[in-house]
Amino acid sequence: MQRWGWLLVLGLTGCQAGGNALKLGTLLPLSGDLAQFGPGMQDAASLLVKTVNDCGGVNGQPVQLLSEDDQTQPSTGVSAMTKLVDVDRVAGVVGAAGSAISGAAVDIAVRGQVMMISPASTSPVFTERAKRGELQGFWFRTAPPDNFQGEALAQLLQKRGWQRVGILAINNDYGRGLAQALQQGLAKTKGQVVATQFYEGQSASFDSEVRSVFGRNPQAVVLVGYPETGTLVMRSAFQQGFFPRIPLVLTDGLKDNQLAPLVGKTPQGQWIINGVIGTAPAAAGPGLKDFQQRYRQAFNREPNVFAPNTWDATAVLVLAAQAAQSNQGAKLREKITTVANPPGTPVTDVCEGLKLLQQGQEINYQGASSAVDFDPQGDVAGEYAVWMVNPDGTIKVIDTITVGGS
């Protein structure tokens, strides 16, 4: 069944569920700069809700899923989040993906006492805001923050012997946050940042930004961005003769199976980014194989990089509602760590978890992306995949790096 077919079924199920059913929303980039990721993430959330409804729903009723496209724009995300909170009156929201969108939307979630769990917003800003008490426990994420990815990148660069590094990053919360985290990570490994340049996502050309970083002759350039604009940056670096003479290292926002075709081929017919490496959160949770099997069966393709995190974010919300025996966001907040963290019976299957909760037992949900153990700031520790673009344009994982926080 196609993606929108899933959404139609879920929408009809929600209408039948009535006003007291658990309402969840998704705030994901179905269009815009992150559109390569959003539909696959939406599919994961839709599949989780369908799975739950097929095994009896939550608190005795089917779950209703209401979906909004943030268009990878903070202003659109604010409007969509306001609708989900004030009009649809959801208890929880899965999203956003981009940190800039989540940063704009989370205040609306806090004001409306709606649980927000992001599968992909990795800016360290949220950790700091949580420490200051600004998010009031209404914010969690199933992807580790970029201060962890900064350490992983620094370790990768050190392992490759690239000590003099340039940073070229999109000018938003994600790009600025990861650039800063990388600088901090490089300080620990005695690395040196020779140039840092931010580029605007709406620009038509990135030639000058590319020259300002590659022109300083770093041993490697770390590119922090998204597919739609990041591919243009890579093409510019190739056309100006900087790349592949100076290697590129990519981040999680660029780990897309269509990345090589988007950048294009050399005059000799090879993929321009053949051999490029990068880092991204590694899906390595105890429930990963089961999720992958369900996803392939439903959609006849492989899940994308943040689909397991989306599955887990949605699962935690439904389990928290069942544990709270309530469909209200403030009640869900009280049970997020109860169902996700030890102690409790370890479960990877969401339906098994719901059954145990209905019996009054405690559970420890073990997800597809990770063990989904949240710290006091709503963060999970990270294992990062080192990935590489193959000669045929596909992506394979060649190593893993584990980092964590307290």
Q: How far is it, in rounded angstroms, from Cα 38 to Cα 52? A: 21
Structural domains of the chain, ranges and CATH numbers in brackets: 3-144+284-365 (3.40.50.2300), 147-283+382-403 (3.40.50.2300)
Q: How confident is the model at residue 16 (pLDDT cuts 50, 70, 90)?
A: very low
Would you state the structure tokens that stand for residue 4, as one six-digit string? 């929108």
Q: How far is CA 151 from the centre of its chain?
A: 18
Q: Is 399 exposed, middle or buried (0-12, 13-18, 19+ CB in 10 A)?
A: middle
Instruction: Please determine, for residue 9, whether its predicted confidence score (pLDDT) is greater than 80.
Output: no
The residue to which tokens 């600025």 are assigned: 176
Would you state the structure tokens that stand for residue 366, as one six-digit string? 């073990």
Task: Look at the chain and count its residues.
Answer: 406
- Residue 257, sorted as left (phi over 0), alpha (psi -120 to 50) or beta, turns out to be alpha
Strand blocks (E) in 205-312: 220-224, 248-250, 277-281
To the nearest 10 degrees (0 to 180), the angle between helices 38-54 and 307-324 is 40
Segment 38-50 shows an average pLDDT of: 98
Compute how many other C-beta atoms are within 10 angstroms of the C-beta atom of residue 357. Answer: 27
Instruction: Please determine, for residue 339, whether its predicted confidence score (pLDDT) is greater than 90.
Output: yes
Instruction: Please determine, for residue 12, whether its predicted confidence score (pLDDT) is greater than 60.
Output: no
% of the chain with per-residue pLDDT over 70: 95
Task: Name the residue among 70, 98, 71 with its Cα closest to residue 82.
Answer: 70
Would you state the structure tokens that stand for residue 58, as one six-digit string? 């939550």
DSSP characters over 113-180: T-EEEESS---THHHHHHHTTTTTT-EEESS--HHHHHHHHHHHHHHHT--EEEEEEESSHHHHHHHH
pLDDT at 19 (0 to 100): 54
Q: CA-CA distances (angstroms) from residue 255 to 52, 205, 223?
A: 29, 22, 12
Task: Name the residue among 21, 41, 14, 13 with its Cα closest to residue 91.
Answer: 21
Segment 370-399 shows an average pLDDT of: 94
pLDDT at 283 (0 to 100): 85
**Buried b or exposed e, range 132-156, using 16+ CB within 10 angstroms:** eeebebbbbbbbbbbbbbbbbbbbb
**Position 105: which residue type?**
A
Instruction: Please determine, for residue 3, whether its predicted confidence score (pLDDT) is greater than 90.
Output: no
List, for residues 54-99, the tens digit of each pLDDT value.
Answer: 999 999 999 999 999 999 999 999 999 999 999 999 999 999 999 9
Q: How far is it, in rounded angstroms, from Cα 303 to Cα 308? A: 7
pLDDT at 120 (0 to 100): 95
Q: How confident is the model at residue 403 (pLDDT cuts 50, 70, 90)?
A: confident
